[in-house]
Structure 1
């Protein structure tokens, strides 16, 4: 493997010879092997280790291991400890996304402060397969199926052609030591479940799977390049920048073949994901909106308008469109039309669907919020409701509210609003449930 990796680096990354290379080193198998190979090939390397404080003593032991490794190899080492859970809560991110953001922000600082030229990560062929399957399961477009790139500006992944099995056997042959991350053995995350439950039998049934995937993704990358060139022409034809953002001419778009697919490509830089709602906008009434994390898409007569969401609007944690039946963040919730009521508990409510206006909004409660508690005729401030419920400050800080047209539908996990209750005249019921 050393010889093959040497050739791969010389073919694709000849500039390594003159560069300062910072290796992202967790202390695990893959990053230790990458650092070892680069050291054996006599490149100028340093190690960068992130302690995400997610596994207590284990995290600290990983950090100590990388520091000891750097001393043994006589190479520079940089370590940083993060309060990942606090960062995730503050920025409304999943733990994994928070760790990623913290990691790469810090890497950029190291490149700048210590004059390193590139960050090298130890992603390999199995990581690429896992990412492909994850994106496939999410209904990704072409871009999401082209795989992990070998170079993304200053970030380079020299081990992408090699499998986890090849890396493991090389480490054994070289008598290397590494740390095992206990969380990798869990199937709690989709990536781990794919790694342990799905991919092994897939590999067994399809010999040469990783090589075939690499060939497929090279073909997809070439196709994506063609699409990218074509989309430059389409953007110039149907899209223009305005003082408010961007406008897309619906009539011009519909004159072209496959307008839905073109719309997908036009909107992908803005990170819209509710594709059923988006394609429906071409034929919807004026005023309908779809939201991404930082942008709003509005149907306004013959144009689609893309505007940036203001900082005030960003206080909203989640917009939920009519076609969404499930969300995973910031809470795991489901929304299912039904024709009858079932079991009701603190985590499940049934509302009159005809009284709901979309998009629904899920956010933290704020001072001044008012609702009409189920079973009551009058309105009550949430602060007073929480006081009556004898909720602690910590409990109140964790409460979410679901709103329709600025009216509270449900104080999630506590009480629904009486205005949305089922009545004898109700003919459409929406079941809303939250999973803990």
Structure 2
């Protein structure tokens, strides 16, 4: 196997040579073999071990074993201890999900702080098959059927082509020692049940199961490449605008596709949506309706679906003193200066009578029920009605900031000033306010 591993790294993963590598090691068979192969091939490796404190003394013995192995091989080793149960409870996660999150977060932290180029894990062909069957049993799309990626960012899995049987044979040939995780025997976990009860039957039916499975995954990954190329073309057809905060999808263009639901899934899956029937229904919903993921939202706005990150739940206000000349706000920077005369006003530049202002001024986001007196009009108008007349989307309205004097609105920033603060023939000091 060592020659096969060497050939695989030289042909498929040559970039691992002359790089700083962090090997994730539990002390079990797979990670010990990975460590031994990397060490034998002369790769620049250091070890990282997680003690999840889930199996009492057994967890501590695993840690001691890894420390001794590192000493025997003269390798540097990093060890981190986690209160996994407390983390899982606090984050309302299963123990398995919590351990995975803790593990990879720590690996990423180590890699960033100590400038490791890649993180190596010991996933192999049997792990890949188990993951495929788990996803298949739970219901999944194409991504769930393509298995564990050999290269995922800086996480690399050099043993992915090799079976558990080959890894065990290697360990015995080289008289390696390793730790057995007692929890792997229990079939209360789905992965273990598949490993011990299901996969042996499948291998008995077809001794070439892993080889044929590898071919199938190759076909599936090829199909995914075709889909990804098609999605690039579709994006050009259905996306009309991509800004810093919002992406607009043309609903009419989406509906012309043969299977809008399938395309919406491919277009939006990076944004963590799960309620796909609701996403599809949004195309025929009333304006203002929305579907949320835990990170993003999709809003129906007339003939568009607007995608954006979830807005911050914290409201903020900014005070402006009479002596301030520049004030930063999320929209940019407001510049205040006294001028001798009114120049050409615009949405981004307004002129007010400074004597009518009550300092400190306040910059805040708008609230339902806010009213102002639009410049050029004698009466008042609700901001909600003004926004409707201006055809502002829900996302647009969330970006609106108000410059206020006391309870009165001086300016809907970058939109329209209030008539009560306009410059008149009696104005003695003209204040120019410009958004840049």
Shorter-chain TM-score above 0.5:
yes
**TM alignment of 1:6-405, pairs within 5 A:** 6-239=6-239, 240-242=241-243, 245-286=246-287, 288-310=289-311, 312=313
Distance 1:66 1:118 in 2: 20
Residues 261 and 276 in structure 2, CA contact (< 8 A), matched pair in contact too: no
Residues 246-302 of structure 1, C-alpha deviation per residue, up to 9 Å, x if partnerless?
A: 332221101122211111101110121223333343444555543322223334443
Distance 1:113 1:307 in 2: 32
Provide the secondary structure at the position in 1 that maps to 2:45.
strand
Q: TM-score, normalised by structure 1?
A: 0.67
Residues 367-406 of structure 1, C-alpha deviation per residue, up to 9 Å, x if partnerless?
A: xxxxxxxxxxxxxxxxxxxxxxxxxxxxxxxxxxxxxxxx
Which ranges in structure 1 are unaligned for 5 or more consecutive residues? 314-436
Distance 1:137 1:282 in 2: 31
Over aligned residue pairs, what C-alpha RMSD do you find?
A: 2.0
Provide the secondary structure at the position in 2 that maps to 1:228.
helix
Residues 50-106 of structure 1, C-alpha deviation per residue, up to 9 Å, x if partnerless?
A: 111222221111111100110111111110111222222333333222222221221
Provide the secondary structure at the position in 1 that maps to 2:258.
coil
Provide the secondary structure at the position in 1 that maps to 2:222.
helix
Structure 1 partner of 2:361: none
Alpha-carbon spacing, 1:290–1:195, altered in 2? closer, same or farther (3 Å): farther
Quote the offset at 1:17 in angstroms: 2.7
Distance 1:238 1:289 in 2: 19
Distance 1:140 1:284 in 2: 27
Provide the secondary structure at the position in 1 that maps to 2:188.
coil
Single out whichever of 59-68 and 35-44 deviates more from structure 2: 35-44
Structure 2 partner of 1:322: none
Which ranges in structure 2 are unaligned for 5 or more consecutive residues? 315-436
Quote the offset at 1:216 in angstroms: 1.3
Distance 1:33 1:164 in 2: 11
Distance 1:2 1:134 in 2: 30
Provide the secondary structure at the position in 2 that maps to 1:92.
coil
Q: TM-score, normalised by structure 2?
A: 0.67
Quote the offset at 1:153 in angstroms: 2.2
Residues 16-47 of structure 1, C-alpha deviation per residue, up to 9 Å, x if partnerless?
A: 33122211000011000110111122222211
Alpha-carbon spacing, 1:299–1:82, altered in 2? closer, same or farther (3 Å): same
Provide the secondary structure at the position in 2 that maps to 1:69.
helix
Distance 2:248 2:92 in 1: 29
Larger gyration radius, structure 1 or structure 2: 2
Structure 1 partner of 2:387: none
Single out whichever of 293-302 and 204-213 deviates more from structure 2: 293-302
Distance 1:160 1:200 in 2: 19
Distance 1:278 1:154 in 2: 33
Quote the offset at 1:238 in angstroms: 1.2
Distance 1:55 1:261 in 2: 44
Residues 122 and 158 in structure 2, CA contact (< 8 A), matched pair in contact too: yes
Distance 1:189 1:166 in 2: 24
